Each structure stands twice: as structure tokens, then as C-alpha cells.
Structure 1
Amino acid sequence: MTGFTNQLNALRGFYNTGATRSFDFRREQLQLLKASILKHEAALNAALFEDLHKSKEEVWITETGMVLSEIAATLKELKDWMEPKSVPTNLINFPGKSFLYPEPLGVVLIIAPWNYPFQLLFMPLIGAIAAGNCVVLKPSELAGATEKVMSTIIGETFNPRYILYAPGEGATVIPELMDAFRYDHVFFTGGTAVGRIIYQKAAAQLTPVTLELGGKSPCIVTSNASLKTAAKRIANVKFSNAGQLCISPDYLLVHTSVKDEFIGLLKETIVQFYGPNPITSYDFGRIVNHNHFSRLKKLMENEVLLHGGEHNEEELFIAPTIIDNPSLNAPVMREEIFGPLLPVIPYTTDEEARNMMQQHENPLAFYIFTNNKKEAAQWLQAVPFGGGCVNTTGMHYLNKHLPFGGRGNSGIGRYHGRYSFETFSHIKSVLRTTAWPDIPLAYPPLKGKLTTLKKII
């Protein structure tokens, strides 16, 4: 028995009362959550600056604003999402009627990472509340200041029998949480290595999972691209949060004919965004801790740097850095970078580019810059990926009407907006019919009915 057993059993007991199922209850919880976030908005700004050097503007765009927008959209649509939906009925079931009934899963576990510690914990929480579940929240311990503010928000808003906040060292707390209880769903955002462990633990109890992982997301700049726009839209997302973003372009494949011009524009853009000395920039973030700093520093070793490379371990600062044509076997091309290092590799033919991308199949995101619609369509069909963009990067994540998720090594499942509600719901299939008419064709003896059955079925 672990230290969480009694608390987890209390969540199950509360869920079994049916208290979480009504529309009024779900709406009220979302409204309370919104009010608490607004109350602690300044504290969240300060905490995210302390943890990751995020400006309050960046916090609004990528953390608090996203969550508040998700709550507003969910409140607007929730009643419709909860309603049973009528679907067509086949002839053999005439005169019956068919329906889809959404119901809560029960008690769910949400595990969040450190790079967007508030948004990546609260976005799935919104879906879990909307779907009528009780929830266990495991925040990242690596964003300590933000974790404390989130603890205050959850603690003052929800009874722990309904939403249980479980902070602490992930390597200790997550096994305790998962060994103590059988959840009805586990939602994990983080790295692939830990995702495999979560998946194995859940599989032992036949618990369904959503895994939001990562990988090396490629970005192609073709000879038909608007290079100046591409440079801005790539740099904007790649160097946001100091590159610690699962959907940032991990490496660029740039057509040989435009590579030199594009590199020049990319350098100009970086200086325009962050100034000649990015360590003093209001807008440029910091690496989360010394371990990640050391890892990123090693990835730069023995590489040709076209721009950046400056670093300061005391401040956990690594400048926006362009790496020129690394070997596909180099460490920077074998693992997800998750930092402000951007390898740029030239390609001549589409086949050459595809062969390079196959080293890391099923990326979480894929980006293509081209003004040729046919070329864009061909690339979108040719590359398996979770989600992506044409002529921009990362912005699909901000559209709540688009499901977000990976495939293969980059994840399982999807969420955002209605897709979050569906992830944390079970959709029951129901056929409703009447006692009359009671058609003899449906019953034995069946001999001689085959021709008629073939026509009906």
C-alpha cells in the first residue's frame, strides 16, 4: 500500500456518488477554475519568469491565455457535447433509433512536463472536468515556482476528493500513484522514454492512455518558399521558450538553391527578434536546469556554427544557434534537441529529403514552406506526422478546432476542444426500439430466408 491509497479510494468513492455528472456541476467547476486562474495571474507570470524566464506576454500567449480560452470555449459548447447524438439506423433494426451517449470515464490521472508547466497540466484538466471525471494531477517538479502557484489554485478551488494534486519527484510519485490504483485513463505529456514506462504500467491494468510525446519534427524550406517570411515564422517558434517546445522545428531541410540566402535572412531575423546580445533580451528564455544545459552544450560540440553558440551556465543561457549541415549520425541529429539549436541541412531532390526524414519516422509535427499548392499537397501526403502547417510553424496548436496529438513514436491519442471532452469520455452506443412490430424474419427457423436477409443486410 502506498501513501496515496486512501486518497485515491476517496476519489473513486466521490465519483461513484454521481456528483460530477450533471451539467450544472461541471459548468460550476470550470467557472471556479477560471476565477482562480485570474486571481493568481500575476503570481503565474512571476513564477514562469522565475522557472523559464518567460515574459508575461509569452505566458499569456502560450500558458494562461490558452487555458482561459479553452475554458471559455468549453463552457460555450459543453451542453451540446453532453447531449446524446442521434445517428442513422440500418434497415434490419427498423423501426429502432440509434444514439451515442457520452459518459465520464471515472477517475483519471494527468501527468504534465516542465516546459509549459501550467498549460500542459490545465488544458487536459479542462477536458477531464468537462467530461465529468475525478482527476489526479501530477505536475512537474522541475518548474518549482509554477508548481507552487498551481498547488494554490487547485487547493483553494477543489476538494481533494474531486481533484487531487500530487506534487513531488516524478520518479517516486508516479510509480506510487500508478501502483496504488487502477485509473480509468492516464494522460501523459513528456518524453518518449518515460512515456514507454507509463504505457507499460497502464497496460498491466488494461488502462487506456493518451501519450503526448515528441520527436524530431522536420521543417522543409523549398525553392518555392517566401524566404523572408519563412525565416520569421521558423525563428519565432523555434526559439520560443528557448527552444523547449515539443512542436518546434527540430531541424531544417533547405533546398540547396536557396540555402545561402535563407541563412542570411535567418541570421538577420534572430538579431531583429532578440538583439545582438540575446542574453539581455526581454523575450528570450532560459534552459530549465543545469542537466539540460550540459546536454545542449554537448550537442554543439564539434559542429559548425553559423550563428550563436554563446552560453552562460550561471544564467542557464544558450543563444539562438544555427548549426550548419551536421552529419545525420551526429548526436544533434539522433535525439530530440529541445533547445535553441537549429541544424540546417541542404537537400537537392525531394527523394533525398524524404530519405533523411525517414531516420525519425512519425514526427509530432511537420512543416513545409512553399508557394506551390501542388508541392505542399504532395508533401502532406508523403510524410506521416501528428499535425503540422504549411507556410508557418506551431500555429496549429493554437486552434482548438484541430485535434492535437502524435502517432507512433510521437504519441497516442489527441486532445484540445471537443477532442479533450471525447478523450475523457466513453461514447456508449445505444439502439432503442419498440415491442411492436415484432418481425418474424429475425427469428429461427431461418431456412428459406437467405435471399431476403441478403437484401436487408
Structure 2
Amino acid sequence: MSREQLVVQQARTAFLTGRSKPLDFRAQQLKNLKRFVTERQKEITDALKMDLNKSENGSKLYELLSLEGEVNLALSKLSEWASPRPVAKNLLTISDEVYIQPQPLGVVLIIGAWNYPIAVTLQPLVGAIAAGNAVVIKPSEICVHTAKVMELLALYLDPEMYPVVTGGVPETQELLKQRFDHIFYTGNSSVGKLVMEAAARHLTPVTLELGGKSPCYIDKDCDIKIACRRITWGKYVNCGQTCIAPDYILCEPSIQNRVVEEIRNCIKEFYTDDPKTFSDYGRIINQRHFKRIMALIGDSTVAIGGDNDESECYIGPTVLKDVTPESKVMQEEIFGPLLPIVPVNGLNEAIKFINEKEKPLVLYAFSSNNKVIKRLIAETSSGGFLANDCLVHFTIIDLPFGGVGNSGIGHYHGKHTFDQLSHLRSCLIKKLSMERVNQMRYPPHTREKLRWARILLLKQVNISRWRHLAQAAMLAALAAFLVQRFLR
């Protein structure tokens, strides 16, 4: 038996004890997770510095703050999320208990990514714990130091219920051979397909948080200076290694040079004249990705940057102008600090360009014209849409975060994670009385029975609108009377 198989088996055995079901247990584990982040903050930020050259404050801002918010929300809403959820009834079931009961799925596998290795691994874990699942946690092996820190979770969480499995591709492949009740993967679409294929062997549902080329349309009539300031921030955070970073700009040729100059000014303001020595400018994760990103420049025209140092995996903030759809940089997700500008002749051409490609994780649009924004929402499809800013929709915990089509399957954040990693069980509890009410469904099926079935089944009643249970009881009595009166 492999180590991975043994870990999964132990997690399932722990889950079957039922100890993760009580809300007190879940709340305590969430508090312990929060304590891990607090007590190990120095180890976490040091590891992120070594893996991605993230500054201490940058790591706190982009990795730990959102995680803290997820834990706080889950602790405050846990009882509400886990409670039975009443639904509207029809007149035939007016006296019955009808509700949705969230239940744990079982054993969940979370495979994290390397670009935000703490946030994208532990945020889904928050929802999985809150939902009462056991979880096998697989951090990315590319972030060696951060994965090592993640092993310390065993000192805070139930080690059988929430084991951490480190290692590379062989360990991940072995995990994917095992049967899980849900797999949550964050990464690229190529690996996402392999995860989905492995899950299909066990009919295991998946959440795939992928990515793709997220477009950014700039309307010529908007405030270009502010637009470029926000785009520059969104693109070069984490050295462009962000799944929701603006991948490329679409704008009319008449404003392209202005866009270039405004971005140039913002790069200097944010990262100084020498980003390489600036503490808040990161590095490419490894030399393989460095070479991949540099090769994407191809024969494109470099308008800003292009400076690089392979020994440090450094690529400066770079803008490419007059990029064509056929350019190499437009054939795959960049995931680095290259920002191509593709000239288009207005909104219609931009919409056509977007719709001819795979559906992106997010679509950005900058415009002062609400009609432009509404058209982009109505005539395109993407996991998310954000007008006049970048990235910040990720900070809204009540918004579901996820892709569509090639950019992902499923969504998470806050209650959405809880629901994604729960079985929402339909429950109806009927009494063994008032049998006369059921007469309409028993043969022989007459026209009169059909008429009253239509009345009793199609009339929806939301009990929450009734102030007193007595009123609901009166409705039930009325339904019974009608049936007895007309079906005798």
C-alpha cells in the first residue's frame, strides 16, 4: 500500500467516526487554522520570500488577509450555513416538513497552486472544514519552502482528518488514483483535464479553478490615466503570476500610445526606475517558466521593459504594442509580467475578438459609458466581470469565484465554498395521516382528480411569509377539505 493510499484510507476512517460532523469540532478546527496563520506568520512570509520573492507586507496583503476573512466569516456563519433550509411547498405538502439539509460529502482532495500557495490552498480548506469534511491537502511542490511550512498544519489540525501530502508529480498521480468524494484543483487547464479524467474513474465531482487569457477592454472615452493605473497594478502584482491578472489589452489604435505612456508612468511610480531592486516586485517561480515567458515575446514589439536576468528569474514589467491575434504571446495564458496591446476598431470588434476565444476567468472593461459596460456583460461570457478596476472582485467573499468553460468548473468563497463542498440533501417528512389528501394520485386517474391535482401541486406557498404556524395549519386544513369535498 502506497503512502498516499494509506493517508486517504486514514482520512476516510477518521471521517466515518463522525467526529467532524458536530459544529463545535468544525469551529475548533477553524480556530486552530487561524492560529496556524497567526503563530506561523513569520515562517510563512519567509517561505514566500524564498519561493517567489514576495515582500513580507505583500504576503500579508495578498495571501493572509483574505484567508483570515474567510475563517472569520465561516466561524460567524457556521451555524446558519449548516442549518436546515426551508423551501416553498405546494398545497399538497403544506403540512409536511420540507427542507434542504447540508451534509458533508466525505473526503475531499485539495490540490493547491504555486502562485499564491497559502491563499489558494487554505481558502478552500476553510469551506471544506466548515462543511464537515475530511480533507487531504496537497500543496504545490514548486513552492518548496511554502510546502514545507504547510506540513506544520499537523500541529494545529486533526492530523488524521486533515493530512498534508507533499511531493511532486508522482505523489499527485498516486493521490488521483484514490477515490475521493470531491476534488478541488487550482492550476492550469492542461492539468485540470488530467484531474477531471482521474476523477471520472470514480465518478468524483470536481471543482477546477483554472484561468486563461483574461481580456481588458479600454474604451477611448474613459479616463485613460486612472484605467492604466489600475491595470498596471492588476497586471504586475506577483510579477504577473495571478490567474485573474489582465492578460492583454484591447483598445483602439488612436489611444494605444497614450496607454503605453500612462503604463510607463505607473510602472515607475509603483516599482521605481529599477524594479529589479525594489522589494515589492517579485520573481518568476523558476527557470522553466522564465524561459517559457521570454519565448512568448517572439517577434512582438517591446514598448516598455523586456529587461531580464535568468540567474535571478527576473523579468521586468513589459508592455508589447501592435500585437496581432497570431502573435505567440496570444496563444496561451502568459502568467508573467508581459502585457500585450491588441488594437481593435471599437467595441463591436472587441466583443467579436473576445467571443472567438475560450471563455476567460474574468473580463475587465474600462469605460465611462454604462451602455458599453452593459453590452459587454450581455454579449460576452466569462467567469467574472469587473468594470473600471482589476482583481478586487476576488475580495468580495459573497461573490462566487470561478470560471466557465475552459477557465474552470464550479466556484468558491465564503458560503459558496461551503455549498460546493456539501451535499445539499432534499428532505421531506410526511405524517401517516390525512390519507384522503393523497386520493388524487391513486388510480383510477380521472379528469376531476387531474383538475384538483393541478390546483394543489402548482400553487406554491412560501411558509416563511406566514407570521403564525396556525395560518399554515389553516391552509393545510383547507387543502384537505377541498380534496375530501371534491374527490369523494
TM-score, shorter chain, exceeding 0.5: yes
| Structure 1 residue aligned with 2:38 | 38
| Structure 2 residue aligned with 1:117 | 117
Letter paired with 1:254:
C
| Structure 2 residue aligned with 1:301 | 298
The alignment of Structure 1 onto Structure 2 pairs a total of residues equal to 454
8 Å contact kept, 1:215–1:360: no
The CA deviation at 1:383 is 1.2
- Pick from 350, 358, 371 the counterpart of residue 368 of structure 2: 371
8 Å contact kept, 2:96–2:431: yes
8 Å contact kept, 1:71–1:126: yes
Deviations 1:152-190 (A, max 9, x none): 1x1211233111111001x211121121x2100000000
Measure the CA separation in 1 of the matches of 2:319 and 2:311. 22
The CA deviation at 1:429 is 0.8
Measure the CA separation in 2 of the matches of 1:226 and 1:100. 48
- Pick from 250, 254, 257 the counterpart of residue 251 of structure 2: 254
The CA deviation at 1:422 is 0.5
Letter paired with 1:177:
L
Letter paired with 2:261:
G
8 Å contact kept, 1:88–1:97: no
Measure the CA separation in 1 of the matches of 2:83 and 2:122. 24
Letter paired with 1:324:
K
Report the 3-state secondary structure (helix = DSSP H, G, I; strand = E; otherwise coil) of the residue aligned with 1:164: coil
| Structure 2 residue aligned with 1:8 | 8
8 Å contact kept, 1:361–1:384: no
The CA deviation at 1:456 is 2.9
TM-score in terms of structure 1 length: 0.97
Measure the CA separation in 1 of the matches of 2:84 and 2:361. 33
8 Å contact kept, 1:286–1:315: yes
8 Å contact kept, 1:388–1:394: no
The CA deviation at 1:75 is 0.6
Say whether 1:134 aligns with 2:134.
Answer: yes
| Structure 1 residue aligned with 2:86 | 86
Alignment of 1:50-65 (within 5 A): 50-65=50-65
| Structure 1 residue aligned with 2:413 | 416
Alignment of 1:217-296 (within 5 A): 217-296=214-293
Measure the CA separation in 2 of the matches of 1:376 and 1:252. 16
8 Å contact kept, 1:135–1:162: yes
Letter paired with 1:81:
W
| Structure 2 residue aligned with 1:425 | 422
Bigger mean CA offset, 442-451 vs 110-119: 442-451
Measure the CA separation in 2 of the matches of 1:45 and 1:164. 22
Report the 3-state secondary structure (helix = DSSP H, G, I; strand = E; otherwise coil) of the residue aligned with 2:311: coil
The CA deviation at 1:347 is 1.6
- Pick from 165, 175, 178 the counterpart of residue 177 of structure 1: 175
Deviations 1:253-306 (A, max 9, x none): 012332222221111111111111110111110000000000111111321000
The CA deviation at 1:43 is 1.1
Say whether 1:155 aligns with 2:157.
Answer: no
Deviations 1:217-237 (A, max 9, x none): 000000121111111110101
The CA deviation at 1:325 is 1.7
Measure the CA separation in 2 of the matches of 1:329 and 1:310. 24
CA RMSD of aligned residues (A): 1.2
Report the 3-state secondary structure (helix = DSSP H, G, I; strand = E; otherwise coil) of the residue aligned with 1:187: strand
Letter paired with 1:3:
R
8 Å contact kept, 1:306–1:324: yes
Letter paired with 2:250:
L
The CA deviation at 1:375 is 1.3
The CA deviation at 1:444 is 2.2
Alignment of 1:206-225 (within 5 A): 206-225=203-222
Deviations 1:404-450 (A, max 9, x none): 00000000000000001001100011112222222222322323422
The CA deviation at 1:98 is 1.3
Letter paired with 2:62:
T
Measure the CA separation in 1 of the matches of 2:2 and 2:67. 32
- Among the aligned pairs, what percent are the same residue? 38
Letter paired with 2:34:
K
8 Å contact kept, 1:306–1:322: yes
Measure the CA separation in 2 of the matches of 1:120 and 1:27. 21
| Structure 2 residue aligned with 1:442 | 441
Measure the CA separation in 2 of the matches of 1:23 and 1:454. 42
Bigger mean CA offset, 210-219 vs 320-329: 320-329
Deviations 1:114-148 (A, max 9, x none): 10011111000001000000000111011111111
8 Å contact kept, 2:364–2:388: yes
Bigger mean CA offset, 300-309 vs 401-410: 300-309
| Structure 2 residue aligned with 1:382 | 379
Measure the CA separation in 2 of the matches of 1:130 and 1:190. 23
The CA deviation at 1:11 is 1.2
Measure the CA separation in 2 of the matches of 1:168 and 1:393. 34
The CA deviation at 1:74 is 0.9
| Structure 1 residue aligned with 2:395 | 398
Letter paired with 2:432:
A
8 Å contact kept, 1:50–1:145: yes
Report the 3-state secondary structure (helix = DSSP H, G, I; strand = E; otherwise coil) of the residue aligned with 1:239: helix
Structure 2 unpaired stretches of 5+: 458-488
Measure the CA separation in 1 of the matches of 2:195 and 2:110. 11
Report the 3-state secondary structure (helix = DSSP H, G, I; strand = E; otherwise coil) of the residue aligned with 1:163: coil
